[in-house]
Structure 1
Amino acid sequence: MTNPILADWATPFAIAPFDAISDDDFTSALDQALVAHNAEIDRIAGNPEAPDFANTVEAMEAAGADLDKVLSVFFTVAGADSNPAREALQRDFSPRLAAHFADISGNKPLFQRIAAVWQARDSLDLNDEQQRVLMLTHRGFVRAGAALEGDAEARMKEIKGRLATLGTDFTQNLLADERAWFMDLSEDDLEGLPDFVVEAARSAGVEKEATGPVVTLSRSLIVPFLQFSPRRDLREKAYRAWTARGANGGDTDNRGIAAEILTLREDRARLLGYDSFAAYKLETEMARTPERVRDLLMQVWTPAKAQADADAEKLTAMMQADGVNGPLAAWDWRYYAEKRRKDEHDLDEAELKPYLQLDRMIEAAFTCANRLFGLEFAPLDVPLYHADCRAWEVTRDGAHVAVFIGDYFARGSKRSGAWCSAMRSQAKFPQTQTPVVINVCNFAKGDPALLSYDDARTLFHEFGHALHQMLSDVTYESISGTSVARDFVELPSQLYEHWLEVPEVLEEFATHAETGAPMPRDMLDKVLAAANFDMGFQTVEYVASALVDLAFHEGAAPADPMVRQGEVLAGIGMPAAIGMRHATPHFAHVFAGDGYSSGYYSYMWSEVMDADAFAAFEEAGGAFDPERAHALEAHILSTGGSKEPEELYTAFRGRLPGVEALLKGRGLAA
């Protein structure tokens, strides 16, 4: 019988038939797909005809359809709904896939054909998009080591395989630590916690099969616990467990893995002739060099630290007024910051949260997309990989555009964080295909599910990524949607966050979970006025992580990453009461794969643009100005990686931005 993963999917919009796929299907599907892809590559490399764009580059674009199907299904469930079988499969698949793609990038006859097309590019009458795909293909092979020979070539293949294994191990260790730890709460321990935190703790207790409510290491539960629990001893216990993920000793400790990853990355960069991994990685980004990254981060660090230091003095005074002596600790900051927010802005998260219902915030994100880009969303009843998932058909003017899937709730089988991925990306070659896009979040479950303001911002952020995928309008999948420079990919997502703060959006969609009443105008005003509250803390914890990431990759790999982390933090004067947003042992952005390695700064780089881009709307007809919306889609959301990011942004805005709009937006300008 045909493997259900490889069969033609006779489902609405060819969505993966999750109800027909079992874990037993993945290995055989991967085996068959790898054989098929190898045969396709061999035919391209061995083609007796002279190499040209069609028989070499376009042929590669068309190859690997079966492999794409297997990997899209497998990595969707492996990240969002893992189990022991899937974790074992991932440990097996990762080195196999690394070897497979290393064989392709090391295929000398194939690279010779690509190089020949590249050399003849000026005589091939290629359009702009074809020239871009050719350049990226050639550059990708060179950067992957296609020009290496002998021992260097063998060493590169070995490095790639080992990195794939280590990245998988890092991720699974982190998931294991997050899944294993929880803290039981007695009824007395619930005192002082708002109802929504109590309900989330009870729900987590059911999920963990505990005897009562618990605190887990899910951000959507542990952060509000740290904000509201008056029990300093419990806050300390929870915070220490949260920040110790990946550093608890034993089989799940990630510190040795991080050290080996950094060494292998340095080796990889030096094999290719670069002074450091940062120099190698940043060459193709907007930033280009480590020096430009450091310059941006330090421009933001200095005012952010000054603000955080001033805030720390106020929080320390509040703590001492409560009779707690000694210095402000990291498990104190959120608790006293929440008290301060209530005092200074008369804004109580417990009063705010009932107005931020998950379903209404989803509706808000959809409505903004409709007003800006004419998109409409209709629920789809299709089998998905988990009962918590839901799907919508996306249309415009009656025509199908995409399928959007939302998977919003935290669970033990899901890795932490939030992300957007495409199970299928938009393309017109070798045939037209529309995207299937997934947003995955880790919100606390409830009836109804209520979000913090930060949760709501995360929802808009990930939906901005989804719009980048859904509105893509290019020919080749390799440059579709979010296939752009890492420090440009966060522009659409961070820009979309701004629409959450548009007063008319909150007026319409921030309605009370019990009464249905809209958020009172005075509360709405307080929410917007407090938008930059505690921004010193938020900026410091982020920039510190970005600077540590850069330092790890900028020179020789550190023998002990934890020592190097400590040196970096001491060098910048990291406030004692603020922890890195992602300390090394759980810094999945950097160590679970190469995606954000030496690139965690990219959120800040993109924020320079998103602050400036939203200002373009404000300078025009307002947040829903149709001309600016059209320009945003035409020059950024629809274009994928078809041009250099600088060119795309300049086409939208008329110029490149400076850091001033970012500092102003964060309330850090002098």
Structure 2
Amino acid sequence: MISKSIKAALLCSIVLFASCKKDEKQSENTEETTTMSDNVLLQEWTGPYEGVPAFDKMNVADIKEAVEKGMELNLADIDAIANNTEPATFENTIVAMEASGKTLNDVFTYYGILSSNMSSPEFRKIQGELAPKLSDFSSKISQNSKLFQRIKTVYDASQKTPLEAEAQRVVDLTYKSFEMNGANLDAAKKERYAAINKELSSLYNDFSDHVLHDEENYVTYLTKDQLSGLAEGFVKSAAKIATDKGQEGKYAITNTRSSMDPFLTYSTERELRKQVWTNYYSRGDNGDEYDNNALIAQILKLRRERVELLGYDNYAQWRLQDRMAKTPENAMELMNAVWPAAIGRVAEEVADMQTVANENGDNITIEPWDYRFYAEKVRKKKYDLDSDEVKQYLQLDKLTQALFYTAGELFNFAFTPVEEGKVPVFHEDVKVWEVTDKDSGKHIGLWYLDPYAREGKRSGAWATTYRSFTSFEGETNVLASNNSNFVKPAPGEAVLVSWDDATTFFHEFGHALHFFSANVKYPTLNGGVRDYTEFQSQLLERWLSTDEVINQFLVHNKTGEPIPASLVAKIKKASTFNQGFGTTEYLASALMDMKLHLADPTNIDIDKFEREALAELNMPKELPMRHRTPHFGHVFSGEGYATAYYGYMWADVLTADASEAFAEAPGGFYDKDLAAKLVKYLFAPRNAMDPAEAYRLFRGRDAKIEALMRDRGFPVPTTK
């Protein structure tokens, strides 16, 4: 999500447009104009907790004016820095940049909510209008020659006489960011570079709109006789969604993962499973006006042209230079090392499923819409483990308390509910907690939780900040949020989630803890290295399966009885079950991302390329990529994860290795000494130090891929 550093805002439409765009908003054109003082979105945050966003007063109609005014004020800040007649110094150039653009950063908070959590056709129209303007705004800063000359002067001086560590890191990151985005180009190339960014910004916006259209408009309605196999809670939720959509007496399966996944797992209606599967995996690929294949081809061409202006051979080469992987070859080496074991495991899983289908007399050959359904049957057969039985012990409210317990034990944080009405929220579903230090009571910040799916909310789960910690102008508190898409239960019913969804809940909370733990001086240092920032959140997933969490917070939603030890044993025994599916569907998307950006984009046929690349990989026909290319928003709704989707696996190598450190520690996963090192080296620094060095300080060495292979139950390669 969008960083509250000025750099993230400035470079929004260049390299971070995907992230920024998800944290931005829109409004319709209107003949009515408001003054700055009347526009709530431009007003300073007031109220308790160092001031909070006025979410209860925001209006789509105000967003366009607010963004445009924010850009105007930001550019005035930048012009003042660039035209300063005093010699360039760290304070009057870099620190001044860190302090600039506060109004725009605050406006982006509202923009993000209206884009990700409460989107509407009205907003999306304005978002489309603002996209090229944001690109122009970004280019005016990244291509400001006077500004860059001052940055370069400070940078060159720091290479001779280094600054203190955090200051030096900010200088290095700022200079590198400008350099990577064309600051050294001649005038003609700068003009073309800016034009490409402007065109891309509109393409990214169109891509997202197309996917959202297909998510909102492909709904499968069931009748009462088509509910076989589905859990009671799921059926009640589906009935309510259908009623809300004007289909009283029917049951709605929406075109989102949170609805699709349980339906494919439990429904006995094979043809309906095929229909729901097809709807979901065909998003952006329906051959109509919302088809994304042509957009993707154009995006790839423009990305290649842009980096060629800078002298790079391909987009991946340019993008990865400041990541942990450094080169696309290193990223591909990791993925290729894991791929054979992953598809080999899929073959075993499919064989097990086909055996079950044959024993049942089902007379079918396993197809993609069968995988989840028969995998669940295999789980029951091999491990006597029923996912729906496990789900009865996974209540969202209890899991939230488990998050707080983990945060208290590892980070010494306490979470206290904020009285309703004290802090404005943008929807009645949103709840807020105050975060404090358990010992001193010191206020750390606020945690917002928006748990439920609804129309206008993008799919998936994510974390973001409304305000990040910095200390260069006095310490600030942190306003962070987690956002999920759990199916809202019928009144009076508990929210029950799958083990996978519970894991994701812990994952996203890991991002929030990263925000709350930050101890950095400057806003830019709250950014991150893409193949490292998922590590902290992936690591936190491991605490879900600790005995301390299981024994305290997994209780039956009806009886209140704790989860039986026998069921826990089955869960742990089955921990590597279905790793073929999970690893292969993810890794196929990551490989496709990289292959697309390494390929020659001239006359590229996206559909054909996807088919041929998967065939070359020997992709099992029984499952799709997690994100098929036409709806791969991580990569084509912006640039946040472009040629970086591999980063989840890169981070998972770190995760598996760090998990082994905790498993080996005297106090296990709650070892106080190791937890202190975790916070000190892996969470608090954010991007204030090189990630590889930070990990070595924690572990005493680099991470090893062998830990990942052991963790997934794959054959561990022998060391020569």
Place the TM-score, normalised by the shorter chain, in its bin. over 0.9
SS at 1:12 equivalent: coil
Match of 2:400 in 1: 362
Match of 2:697 in 1: 651
Match of 1:439 in 2: 482
State how 1:275-424 maps to structure 2 within 5 Å: 275-380=313-418, 381=420, 382-396=423-437, 397-424=440-467
Query: Does 2:285 match 1:241?
Result: no
For residues 321 and 515 of structure 2, the distance between their equivalents in structure 1, rounded to whole angstroms, comes to: 25
Match of 2:184 in 1: 147
Match of 2:266 in 1: 228
Match of 2:137 in 1: 100
Is 1:76–1:423's contact at 8 Å kept on the other side of the alignment? no
Report deviation, 1:250: 2.2
Among 659, 667, 670, which residue is 2:713 paired with? Answer: 667
Is 1:500–1:506's contact at 8 Å kept on the other side of the alignment? yes
Match of 2:254 in 1: 216
Query: Does 2:40 match 1:4?
Result: yes
Query: Does 2:223 match 1:186?
Result: yes
For residues 386 and 20 of structure 1, the distance between their equivalents in structure 2, rounded to whole angstroms, comes to: 11
Match of 1:592 in 2: 637
Among 470, 495, 498, which residue is 1:449 paired with? Answer: 495
SS at 2:424 equivalent: coil
Report deviation, 1:584: 0.4
Question: Deviations along 1:551-578, whole A, 9 cap, x unmatched?
Answer: 0112322611221111211111001101
For residues 394 and 619 of structure 2, the distance between their equivalents in structure 1, rounded to whole angstroms, comes to: 34
For residues 697 and 240 of structure 2, the distance between their equivalents in structure 1, rounded to whole angstroms, comes to: 49
Report deviation, 1:320: 2.9
SS at 2:668 equivalent: coil
SS at 2:253 equivalent: strand
Is 1:183–1:215's contact at 8 Å kept on the other side of the alignment? yes
Match of 1:613 in 2: 658
State how 1:563-642 maps to structure 2 within 5 Å: 563-620=608-665, 621-642=667-688
Report deviation, 1:461: 0.3
SS at 2:240 equivalent: helix
For residues 594 and 289 of structure 1, the distance between their equivalents in structure 2, rounded to whole angstroms, comes to: 17
Which residue identity does 1:115 align to in structure 2?
K
For residues 400 and 88 of structure 2, the distance between their equivalents in structure 1, rounded to whole angstroms, comes to: 49
Report deviation, 1:496: 0.1
Match of 1:556 in 2: 600
Report deviation, 1:323: 3.4
Question: Deviations along 1:17-61, whole A, 9 cap, x unmatched?
Answer: 111221122122222211111111111000000001001111100
SS at 2:466 equivalent: strand
For residues 44 and 426 of structure 1, the distance between their equivalents in structure 2, rounded to whole angstroms, comes to: 24
For residues 217 and 344 of structure 1, the distance between their equivalents in structure 2, rounded to whole angstroms, comes to: 31
Report deviation, 1:302: 0.8
User: How many residue pairs align between the two structures?
Assistant: 668
Q: Structure 2 unaligned runs (5+)?
A: 1-34
Is 1:246–1:586's contact at 8 Å kept on the other side of the alignment? yes
**More off after superposition, 69-78 vs 335-344:** 69-78
For residues 122 and 340 of structure 1, the distance between their equivalents in structure 2, rounded to whole angstroms, comes to: 60
Report deviation, 1:527: 1.4
Is 2:406–2:543's contact at 8 Å kept on the other side of the alignment? yes
Is 2:162–2:168's contact at 8 Å kept on the other side of the alignment? no
For residues 219 and 365 of structure 1, the distance between their equivalents in structure 2, rounded to whole angstroms, comes to: 23
Among 27, 39, 51, which residue is 2:88 paired with? Answer: 51
TM-score by length of 1: 0.98
State how 1:242-257 maps to structure 2 within 5 Å: 242-257=280-295
For residues 46 and 359 of structure 2, the distance between their equivalents in structure 1, rounded to whole angstroms, comes to: 66
Query: Does 2:532 match 1:488?
Result: yes
For residues 122 and 470 of structure 1, the distance between their equivalents in structure 2, rounded to whole angstroms, comes to: 32
Which residue identity does 1:393 align to in structure 2?
E
Question: Deviations along 1:407-427, whole A, 9 cap, x unmatched?
Answer: 111112111111111111111
Q: Structure 1 unaligned runs (5+)?
A: none
Which residue identity does 1:120 align to in structure 2?
A
For residues 544 and 72 of structure 1, the distance between their equivalents in structure 2, rounded to whole angstroms, comes to: 33
For residues 228 and 663 of structure 2, the distance between their equivalents in structure 1, rounded to whole angstroms, comes to: 45
Match of 1:506 in 2: 550
SS at 1:392 equivalent: strand
Question: Deviations along 1:282-308, whole A, 9 cap, x unmatched?
Answer: 111000111111111111111111111
For residues 259 and 389 of structure 1, the distance between their equivalents in structure 2, rounded to whole angstroms, comes to: 39
State how 1:535-550 maps to structure 2 within 5 Å: 535-550=579-594
Match of 2:157 in 1: 120
Is 2:151–2:175's contact at 8 Å kept on the other side of the alignment? yes
Report deviation, 1:652: 0.7
Question: Deviations along 1:220-255, whole A, 9 cap, x unmatched?
Answer: 221111011111111111111111111112221111
Report deviation, 1:498: 0.2
For residues 309 and 358 of structure 2, the distance between their equivalents in structure 1, rounded to whole angstroms, comes to: 56
Is 1:11–1:17's contact at 8 Å kept on the other side of the alignment? no
**More off after superposition, 5-14 vs 159-168:** 5-14
Which residue identity does 2:306 align to in structure 1?
R
Report deviation, 1:580: 0.5
Among 195, 204, 217, which residue is 1:167 paired with? Answer: 204
SS at 1:251 equivalent: coil
For residues 367 and 381 of structure 2, the distance between their equivalents in structure 1, rounded to whole angstroms, comes to: 21
Which residue identity does 1:634 align to in structure 2?
K
Report deviation, 1:8: 2.3
Match of 2:28 in 1: none
Query: Does 2:118 match 1:74?
Result: no
Is 1:207–1:411's contact at 8 Å kept on the other side of the alignment? no
TM-score by length of 2: 0.91
For residues 333 and 105 of structure 2, the distance between their equivalents in structure 1, rounded to whole angstroms, comes to: 39
For residues 632 and 216 of structure 1, the distance between their equivalents in structure 2, rounded to whole angstroms, comes to: 40
For residues 401 and 242 of structure 2, the distance between their equivalents in structure 1, rounded to whole angstroms, comes to: 29
For residues 22 and 12 of structure 1, the distance between their equivalents in structure 2, rounded to whole angstroms, comes to: 22
Question: Deviations along 1:379-408, whole A, 9 cap, x unmatched?
Answer: 123221111111111000211112111111
SS at 1:474 equivalent: coil
For residues 69 and 75 of structure 1, the distance between their equivalents in structure 2, rounded to whole angstroms, comes to: 10
Report deviation, 1:209: 2.7
Question: Deviations along 1:571-602, whole A, 9 cap, x unmatched?
Answer: 11001101100000111111111010001000
Report deviation, 1:123: 5.2
Which residue identity does 1:398 align to in structure 2?
G
For residues 184 and 646 of structure 2, the distance between their equivalents in structure 1, rounded to whole angstroms, comes to: 30
Report deviation, 1:87: 1.0
SS at 2:76 equivalent: helix
Report deviation, 1:532: 1.4
